[in-house]
Amino acid sequence: MAPPNSAVPGLLSVPRLTTLLASLVVAVGSGTNYVFSAYSPQLAARLNINHTQLNVVGLAGNVGVYSSAPFWGRIVDSRGPRIPIFFGFIFLFFGYTGIRHFYNTGVDDGSTVSTLGLGLLIACSFMTGAGGNAAFTGAVNSTAKSFPDRARATTTGIVLSGFGLSAFFFSTLAHIFFPGDTSSFLLLLSLGTALTTFIGLFLVRSIPLSASEDDDHTIIPTVAAEAEATIFHHGDDIHTPLLDGDSAAPSSPLMEDSPSASRSRSASHRRSISRSKQEALEGLNVYGRALWTSPDFWLLFANLSLLSGTGLMYINNVGSMSQALFAQGNPEYDEIKAAQFQATQVSTISIMNFAGRIVIGVISDILKNRFGFPRSYSLLLVSSLFFCSQILAAQITDVTNLWKASTLVGLSYGTIFGLFPTVCIEFFGLLHFSENWGYLSLSPLVGGNLFSIAFGRNLDAHEPGETTATVQATAARAANAVAHQCFEGRSCYVATLGLTTTACFIAILLSGISAWRERRKLMTASGTRPRLIWEATGEE
């Protein structure tokens, strides 16, 4: 909050808009972890590593993102955004520079990268994930603190959209200016991400709010506490049995005629709303040991692990999938054309990831505010989308149709991180949301590692053998294709899709259980069966 006597910039002032635009630029350079599939097959070919080892390299970036989140969050809360953005600059630049060095150096024919070299490559991948998350955390935090509640959702949404479109931005630039040139693509990632964070280092900062706009320092509680009051529709009464408070006493006519009394009453009303929000927040507060022993926490943890693990597996390996489909029955393997198909999948996933974050928010709000369904019901929609995406991916045999599966996977993956945080709030409250969500955010590491390693082993098991017949059948194609290339198309990886399809079906069941438990808790707390909107509209 700004000092009482200092001039506070307006909502659309140059300082606030500068922070917003600079944060958007930083976000665009921070989400490059999802572009891994655009260069990973070529990297594996240059270093002569198998798909299992390649997946370990890709997973290191994911581990960097999720494991570093609590660390960067604490720093930006206590010290501001510059320290995380500075480390983001360092980690992104040296991470991608290191990966490019390994790609340019390559290995001698018949050899493979050393254990030490592979370890350093994994460390570089980890740096890109941790660096991107550091810069992104600083950008989002500064934006949220620089705008009042009435504009906070819109402005932070703009920054989030930049993160979601990062992979599309860089893969499109590479496709236009450096088609088929992986070394130049990695140079673009190194310099591009460094430039965006360098800009943010000087322009991203928190702009103080006025006292009236900064009554509530808590970002998420302000929005969610108001949403809690509309879980179920009750006509003109906005209070639910969970949040009902004392009725306000009527004011006297004399007070209504007094301007000073009106201003006093307005200030008192704001304070009353703030107190009501705080009382609502204190009504549900699950954390610590209570969180770890809560069945709802483990249901969400398992569900998020299965769904996000499925998404990470596909995102990290869609480049290898497109190459396997492109190589099948193709005697003239064109590396540039194969790279174009890779870029198409990455761009499609990036755009739909962005769209999914927006769409699920709109859908869950409509289901909650108009039809009286808790947001946990939307978990069924998210898990069903993932289930359909894996069935579709398993049926595709032509690389020109792979974009359809990428579209559905990108949309599904975006809905995860647009919905699960709000469900976490509804289940466990807001006072310890950051801590609780931090624990839930570790779940992708479980599913992501499991499914990605399974994919790598499955693809390695379908590498061409050394029999004479196999050599004769694939000699012409293998001369142009990347190393460890599978030529069996969908058969190279379909068994792993069977695994993720099963996982998504289990996630549907877990989503149903979570929704049922939430419904039952609301019924118990209200002492009656909650009325839905079509039941309430008929009342006088």
What pLDDT digit, counting tens, does each position of 94-152 carry?
Answer: 999 999 999 998 887 767 888 899 999 999 999 999 999 899 888 888 887 787 766 66
**Considering the entire predicted model, what is its pTM?**
0.72
How far is the C-alpha of 91 from the C-alpha of 193, rounded, in Å? 10
Rg (CA), the chain: 26
* pLDDT for 268: 53
Residue 302 pLDDT > 90, yes or no? yes
102's enclosing H/E stretch is helix 82-105
221 versus 462: which is more confidently predicted?
462
- Ramachandran class of 248: left when φ > 0, alpha when ψ lies in -120 to 50, beta otherwise: beta
* pLDDT for 10: 66
521 versus 53: which is more confidently predicted?
53
* pLDDT for 255: 39
* pLDDT for 104: 92
How far is the C-alpha of 65 from the C-alpha of 74, rounded, in Å? 15
Query: Which token pair is 536?
Result: 């309430």
* pLDDT for 465: 57
Whole-number Cα distances in Å, 176 to 171, 189, 315, 465, 539: 9, 14, 22, 37, 61
* pLDDT for 124: 95
Contact 48, 111 (CB under 8 A): yes
Residue range 359-382: average pLDDT?
Answer: 83
82 versus 367: which is more confidently predicted?
82
Query: Which token pair is 298?
Result: 């483990």
Assign 468 a pLDDT band (cuts: 50, 70, 90). very low
How far is the C-alpha of 181 from the C-alpha of 168, rounded, in Å? 17
Percentage of residues in the chain having pLDDT higher than 70: 75
How far is the C-alpha of 241 from the C-alpha of 489, rounded, in Å? 57
Assign 89 a pLDDT band (cuts: 50, 70, 90). very high
Residue range 417-424: average pLDDT?
Answer: 81
Mean pLDDT value across the chain: 77
How far is the C-alpha of 43 from the C-alpha of 38, rounded, in Å? 10
109's enclosing H/E stretch is none
* pLDDT for 340: 82
* pLDDT for 192: 94
Residue 523 pLDDT > 80, yes or no? no
Residue range 411-435: average pLDDT?
Answer: 81
Residue 40 pLDDT > 50, yes or no? yes
Residue range 246-269: average pLDDT?
Answer: 45
